[in-house]
Amino acid sequence: MGAVTSNAISIGELSRLSGVSPHTLRFYEAEGVLKPAGRAANGHRRYRREDVLWLEFVLRFKVTGMPLAEIRQYAVLRAQGEKTLQPRLTMLKLHRERLVTKINELSTCAGVLDDKIRTYRKMIAKSRVPAKKAAK
């Protein structure tokens, strides 16, 4: 049975798994968003289950528009252990607020967009009817 290897995966596998290119994964590591990955004997990066979970968390942050710098800040706190629970909670709450605001903003825009679409449909319908009448 494999000794140290256990269930660690390569950068290529993580890339396929996460949809993030190997380039970008290394870039994230350089930026301090991902902690320096463990290495195999040949120097290749080895990602473990917890690394995959953290990446998923990071991607959720990203999707919600958090800038990398802020994600890194959170990552740094996390690396410092339990004593930073409070500041991390503060960051999460703040981000939650922004997220709710953003969702509301987008919903408003979606409403306006719907109105616009309805108007367009009507305009297109009207511009077609006279043509039919004329043809009659």
Partner DNA sequence: TTAAGAGTTGGAGCTCACTCGATGTCAAGA
Partner DNA sequence: TCTTGACATCGAGTGAGCTCCAACTCTTAA
Residue 67 binding partner per list its own copies, DNA, none, with a CB distance cut-off of 5 to 8 Å that depends on partner kind: DNA
Work out whether 84 is an interface residue with DNA (CB under 7 A): no
Which residues 19-78 are close enough to bind its own copies by CB under 8 A? 60, 63-64
Of 3-11, 25-33, 39-47, 92-100, which part binds its own copies (CB under 8 A)? Answer: 92-100
Least separation in angstroms between CB 3 and DNA: 15
Token readout for 72 is 């890194």
Q: Tokens 């339990």 label which residue?
A: 82
Q: Where are the alpha helices (DSSP H) in the chain?
A: 11-18, 22-30, 49-63, 68-79, 85-135
Q: Does 10 bind DNA (CB under 7 A)?
A: yes
Smaller CB separation from DNA, 40 or 123: 40
d(CA 64, CA 103): 10
Q: What is the three-class DSSP state of 93?
A: helix
Q: Which does 22 bind (CB under 5 to 8 A by kind): DNA, its own copies, none?
A: DNA
Q: Cα separation of 42 and 62, whole Å?
A: 32
- How far apart, in whole angstroms, are the C-alpha atoms of residue 37 and residue 26? 9
Residues in contact with its own copies by the rule CB under 8 A:
60, 63-64, 82, 85-86, 88-89, 92-93, 95-96, 99-100, 102-103, 105-107, 109-110, 112-114, 116-117, 120-121, 123-124, 127
